[in-house]
Amino acid sequence: MLGGIKKLVLVLLSAVLSGSLAAAELNLFFYGAPVHLDYASSLQQAPILEGTPAREQLESRMRLWDEDALFNFAVSVKTKAQEMRLDDVATARLMRACAVQLYGETPDAALFEWLSLRHCGYDALLGMGGTLKVYLHYAFLTEGTQFVLFMGKKYTLPQGEPDPFSGKEQVFVSMKEPAAPRSALFFNMHELPLLGKSRRLRKCIFTYAEKEYKLFVPWMDDVVDYLNDLPVIALGPLFYQTPMNLRAQQVLHDSLSTWTRGFTSKQTLDFLLAFLQQAFPYKRDKEYLRYDRHNFAEQTLAAPFADCEDKAVLFAQLVRDLLGYPALLIYNKNLEHVSVAIAWSTPTVGHTVMYEQKRYLICEPANYGYRAGESKMPTDAPGDIIPLQSEL
């Protein structure tokens, strides 16, 4: 018995001396959600890197961190991310938040972030331009954001607002790190992440057939902040597949299904078009933002204005949820305009388009007063079709 206790004491003493025993707690708020993580005391060091460090300085700095402690910390962050229903993209953002909490906005934090991501198996680069920057290899398309091409792959800055610079940058390749395979980061928000619970309401008023309708739709403040900080994602299935918050889904479904009870499918489309056209004021992003972006449904609920693609995504989701009809987006480059096309088997008069031997009825949720089948698109060449059902 005594020998067992002595052995346990020796193990604990060894853990303390090696820095592998957790001796501190990291506390932060990640988009309104409290995060508490234990980490080893060996990671608790003052920042020492300045400016743009040379490769030799980065290698030396890496040797000061206990590799096992760093690996365990990275794993604990990823485990916490899974508890919060964070996908790869959000997990990487949480990793950055932890690095900044430990080391501030310093080169040490960027190096720590990059190493932690690599320990989690994510494909990330450390750029050595004016400042150290972490670039991520996404498994989806982004637009307008600063990127680096390396070994035939595109690595993007994980920031919300696009940077006008894109091109070459020196990349740090460590002699110490093993050349293990890394995976691209996937965006998967079939369920919204468990972030802060702050909620606001959008007042929606519109008329249809000379009758006024009113409802209040909730949106999640912290979820919208997170979505606003994402890089600009190329318009496509990810927007269609990412839901709005459950309470908003319930409010919209209950109200809209009640109001359209007894309607034909065509009347329901016209009703939904009136809702989108009137309750969400139209304005191009560049008229009130510094850059153009595509909004998820949750962002559209929160934004003071919505442009054509924002309304198109929300409209397509509402049609799917109320009628169960598949949808496409149609982008006309000359008009810089996005319309929606709804799968339509009923004979009707209106503007339609064929896709994979199926007929789709074009709808214009951004154009005030337009009904289903009425469109500003040229009938002979409406534009490029963007499927929404397929996975990226």
Summarize pLDDT for 28-56 with one digit per residue, the tens.
999 999 999 999 988 888 888 988 889 89
Residues 139 and 240 reside in one and the same domain: no
The model's pLDDT over 85-108, given as tens digits with 9 standing for 90+, comes to 999 999 999 999 999 999 999 999
User: What's the rounded Cα separation, in Å, for the pair 147 and 287?
Assistant: 26
User: What's the rounded Cα separation, in Å, for the pair 122 and 365?
Assistant: 39
Average per-residue pLDDT for the chain: 88
Q: What is the CA radius of gyration of the chain?
A: 25
Residues 138 and 212 reside in one and the same domain: no
Q: Is it the case that residue 9 has pLDDT exceeding 70? A: no
Q: Is it the case that residue 3 has pLDDT exceeding 70? A: no
306 within 8 A of 281, measured Cβ to Cβ: yes
The model's pLDDT over 272-296, given as tens digits with 9 standing for 90+, comes to 999 999 999 999 988 877 778 899 9
75: domain range? Answer: 19-156
The model's pLDDT over 168-202, given as tens digits with 9 standing for 90+, comes to 578 888 766 655 668 999 999 889 999 999 999 99
What pLDDT does residue 226 have? 96
**Is residue 5 domain-resident?**
no
**DSSP state for residue 102 in the 8-state scheme:** H
Of 13 and 141, more confident: 141
69 within 8 A of 43, measured Cβ to Cβ: yes
**Is residue 3 domain-resident?**
no
Residues 148 and 212 reside in one and the same domain: no
Sheet strands (E) in the chain: 22-30, 33-40, 124-128, 132-136, 147-150, 153-156, 199-208, 211-220, 327-332, 337-343, 352-355, 358-363, 384-387
Residues 152 and 203 reside in one and the same domain: no
What pLDDT does residue 162 have? 58
Residues 364 and 259 reside in one and the same domain: yes
**Is residue 166 domain-resident?**
no
> Could you give the C-alpha distances from 366 to 19, 113, 209, 273, 278, in angstroms and in order?
59, 42, 19, 8, 9
Residues 218 and 314 reside in one and the same domain: yes
Domain end call among 128, 156, 184: 156
Count of domains forming the chain = 2
Angle between helical axes of 107-119 and 55-63 (0-180°, round to 10): 70
Q: Is it the case that residue 82 has pLDDT exceeding 90? A: yes
Cα–Cα nearest to 220, from 243, 254, 187, 253: 243
Residues 70 and 147 reside in one and the same domain: yes
Residues 269 and 336 reside in one and the same domain: yes
**Is residue 192 domain-resident?**
no
User: What's the rounded Cα separation, in Å, for the pair 30 and 208?
Assistant: 42
The model's pLDDT over 102-111, given as tens digits with 9 standing for 90+, comes to 999 999 999 9
Q: Is it the case that residue 352 has pLDDT exceeding 50? A: yes
| pLDDT > 70 in the chain, percent | 89
> Could you give the C-alpha distances from 99 to 43, 72, 215, 234, 340, in angstroms and in order?
11, 14, 42, 28, 42
**Is residue 102 domain-resident?**
yes
User: What's the rounded Cα separation, in Å, for the pair 43 and 17?
Assistant: 13
Q: Is it the case that residue 264 has pLDDT exceeding 70? A: yes
Report the first-to-last Cα separation within the chain, whole angstroms: 59
Residues 144 and 207 reside in one and the same domain: no
Residue-by-residue DSSP string for 263-298: --HHHHHHHHHHHHHHHS-B--HHHHSSS-----HH
Half-sphere exposure of 249 (CA within 13 A, CB side): 10
**Is residue 38 domain-resident?**
yes
2's tokens: 């005594």
Q: Which residues contact 231 (CB under 8 A, 6 or more apart)?
A: 138, 142, 145, 156, 157, 158, 159, 160, 162
Residues 216 and 134 reside in one and the same domain: no
pTM, 2 dp: 0.88
CATH assignment at residue 316 = 3.10.620
Residues 247-251, mean pLDDT to the nearest whole number:
97
pLDDT band of residue 6 (cuts 50, 70, 90) is very low
CA 139 to chain centre: 12
162 within 8 A of 221, measured Cβ to Cβ: no
Residues 147 and 227 reside in one and the same domain: no
What pLDDT does residue 18 have? 45
Residues 289 and 211 reside in one and the same domain: yes
Cβ–Cβ contacts within 10 Å for residue 262, how many? 7
The Cα angle at residue 228 between residues 227 and 234, in degrees rounded to 5: 75
pLDDT band of residue 345 (cuts 50, 70, 90) is confident
